[in-house]
Chains A and B, each alone.
Chain A
Amino acid sequence: MAQSTLAQEPEVTIERAGNKVTAALAGYWTAEHARKVEALVGEIAAEADRSNLILDLKGVKRLDTLGAWVLDRTRHELGEKGLASDFVNASQEQHILLNEVAYRGFQEQPQVRRSRFVDFLVDVGQTVTGAGSDLVRGVAFLGELVSAFIRVVLNPRRFRGTAVINQLEQIAYRGVPIIVLISFLVGAIVAQQGIFQLVKFGATPFVVDLIGILVMRELGVLLTSIMVAGRSGSAFTAEIGSMKMREEIDALRVMGLDPIEVLILPRILALIIGLPLLTFIASIAALLGGGVTAWIYGDISPDVFLTRLKASIAFNTFMVGIIKAPFMAMIIGIIATLEGLAVQGSAESLGRHVTSSVVKAIFMVIVLDGLFAMFFAAIRY
Chain B
Amino acid sequence: MLERRPPVSTQDRDVIIRVRGVEVGFGDRTILKGLDLDVYRGEILGFVGASGQGKSVLTRAILGLVPKRAGTIEVLGENLDGLSPSERRMMERHWGVLFQQGALFSALTVKQNVQVPMREHLNLSERLLDELAMLKIEMVGLNPDAADKLPSELSGGMIKRAALARALALDPDIVFLDEPTSGLDPIGAGDFDELIATLQRTLGLTVFMVTHDLDSLYTVCDRIAALGDGKILAEGTIEAMLASDHPWLRSYFHGKRARSVMAGGA
Which residues of A are at the interface with B, using a C-beta cutoff of 8 A?
Answer: 1, 30-32, 34-35, 38, 64-66, 69-70, 73, 93, 96-97, 100-101, 104, 106, 109, 344-348
- Given A34-B124, A345-B151, A348-B106, does the pair A106, B144 have CB atoms closer than 8 Å? yes
Asked whether, in the complex, the Cβ of A93 is within 8 Å of the Cβ of B136, the reply is no
Given the complex, which residues of A lie within 8 Å of B151, measured CB to CB? 345-346
Stretch among B8-16, B53-61, B201-209 lining the A interface: B201-209
Asked whether, in the complex, the Cβ of B204 is within 8 Å of the Cβ of A69, the reply is no
- A312–B150 Cα distance when bound, in Å, is 61
Cβ distance B45 to chain A, nearest Cβ, rounded Å:
20
In the assembled complex, B232 has its CB within 8 A of some CB on chain A? no
Stretch among B24-32, B125-133, B176-184 lining the A interface: B125-133
Given the complex, which residues of A lie within 8 Å of B77, measured CB to CB? 1
- A104–B124 Cα distance when bound, in Å, is 19
In the assembled complex, B134 has its CB within 8 A of some CB on chain A? yes
Q: List which B204-233 residues lie within 8 A (CB) of chain A.
A: 204
- Given A31-B124, A38-B125, A97-B203, does the pair A345, B131 have CB atoms closer than 8 Å? no
Asked whether, in the complex, the Cβ of A106 is within 8 Å of the Cβ of B134, the reply is yes
Cβ distance B215 to chain A, nearest Cβ, rounded Å:
24
CB < 8 Å: which of B125, B139, B171, B204 contacts A31? B171
Please list 5 pairs of residues, one from A and one from B, whose beta carbons are closer than 8 Å in the complex, sorted by A's number: A1-B76, A34-B124, A34-B125, A101-B135, A346-B107
Asked whether, in the complex, the Cβ of B122 is within 8 Å of the Cβ of A32, the reply is yes
- Given A31-B122, A32-B122, A346-B150, does the pair A69, B202 have CB atoms closer than 8 Å? no
Q: List which B111-145 residues lie within 8 A (CB) of chain A.
A: 118, 122-125, 128, 130-132, 134-136, 138-139, 144
Asked whether, in the complex, the Cβ of B202 is within 8 Å of the Cβ of A66, the reply is no
Asked whether, in the complex, the Cβ of A1 is within 8 Å of the Cβ of B78, the reply is yes
Which residues of B are at the interface with A, using a C-beta cutoff of 8 A?
Answer: 76-78, 90, 106-107, 118, 122-125, 128, 130-132, 134-136, 138-139, 144, 148, 150-153, 170-171, 198, 201-204
- A100–B78 Cα distance when bound, in Å, is 31
Cβ distance B184 to chain A, nearest Cβ, rounded Å:
18
Query: Which A-B residue pairs are the 5 nearest by beta carbons?
Result: A345-B152, A346-B106, A348-B107, A64-B171, A106-B134
Asked whether, in the complex, the Cβ of A35 is within 8 Å of the Cβ of B123, the reply is yes
- A106–B150 Cα distance when bound, in Å, is 19
- A35–B124 Cα distance when bound, in Å, is 7
Q: Which of A65, A96, A104, A348 has the most CB of B within 10 A?
A: A65
- A179–B156 Cα distance when bound, in Å, is 46
- Give the interface SS of chain A, mostly helix, strand, loop or mixed: helix
- Given A70-B128, A348-B106, does the pair A96, B201 have CB atoms closer than 8 Å? yes
Asked whether, in the complex, the Cβ of A66 is within 8 Å of the Cβ of B139, the reply is no
CB < 8 Å: which of B76, B131, B148, B150 contacts A69? B131
Given the complex, which residues of B lie within 8 Å of A70, measured CB to CB? 128
Given the complex, which residues of A lie within 8 Å of B135, measured CB to CB? 65, 69, 101
- A270–B121 Cα distance when bound, in Å, is 50
- A64–B15 Cα distance when bound, in Å, is 21
Given the complex, which residues of A lie within 8 Å of B136, measured CB to CB? 65
- A69–B136 Cα distance when bound, in Å, is 11
Asked whether, in the complex, the Cβ of A344 is within 8 Å of the Cβ of B134, the reply is no
CB < 8 Å: which of B128, B134, B138, B144 contacts A34? B128
Asked whether, in the complex, the Cβ of A109 is within 8 Å of the Cβ of B90, the reply is no
Closest to A109 in B: B148
Given the complex, which residues of A lie within 8 Å of B203, measured CB to CB? 64-65, 97
CB < 8 Å: which of B118, B128, B148, B171 contacts A38? B128
Cβ distance B2 to chain A, nearest Cβ, rounded Å:
16
- A136–B123 Cα distance when bound, in Å, is 51
CB < 8 Å: which of A93, A97, A100, A106 contacts B131? A106
Given the complex, which residues of A lie within 8 Å of B171, measured CB to CB? 30-31, 64-66
Asked whether, in the complex, the Cβ of B139 is within 8 Å of the Cβ of A347, the reply is no
Given the complex, which residues of B lie within 8 Å of A96, measured CB to CB? 201-202
Q: With contacts A64-B171, A64-B203 known, what are 8 further pairs, Cβ within 8 A? A: A31-B118, A31-B171, A34-B124, A38-B128, A65-B139, A109-B148, A345-B151, A347-B107
- A34–B129 Cα distance when bound, in Å, is 10
Given the complex, which residues of A lie within 8 Å of B152, measured CB to CB? 344-346
Closest to B134 in A: A106
Closest to A64 in B: B171
- A34–B131 Cα distance when bound, in Å, is 13
- A73–B43 Cα distance when bound, in Å, is 30
- A97–B118 Cα distance when bound, in Å, is 20
Given the complex, which residues of B lie within 8 Å of A104, measured CB to CB? 138
Given the complex, which residues of A lie within 8 Å of B123, measured CB to CB? 34-35
Given the complex, which residues of B lie within 8 Å of A101, measured CB to CB? 135, 139
Given the complex, which residues of B lie within 8 Å of A69, measured CB to CB? 128, 131-132, 135
Cβ distance B162 to chain A, nearest Cβ, rounded Å:
14
Given the complex, which residues of B lie within 8 Å of A31, measured CB to CB? 118, 122, 124, 132, 170-171
Q: Which of A32, A93, A347 has the most CB of B within 10 A?
A: A32
Cβ distance A65 to chain B, nearest Cβ, rounded Å:
5
Given the complex, which residues of A lie within 8 Å of B134, measured CB to CB? 106
Closest to A104 in B: B138
Asked whether, in the complex, the Cβ of B106 is within 8 Å of the Cβ of A345, the reply is yes
- Given A100-B139, A100-B202, A101-B135, does the pair A106, B128 have CB atoms closer than 8 Å? no
Given the complex, which residues of A lie within 8 Å of B125, measured CB to CB? 34-35, 38
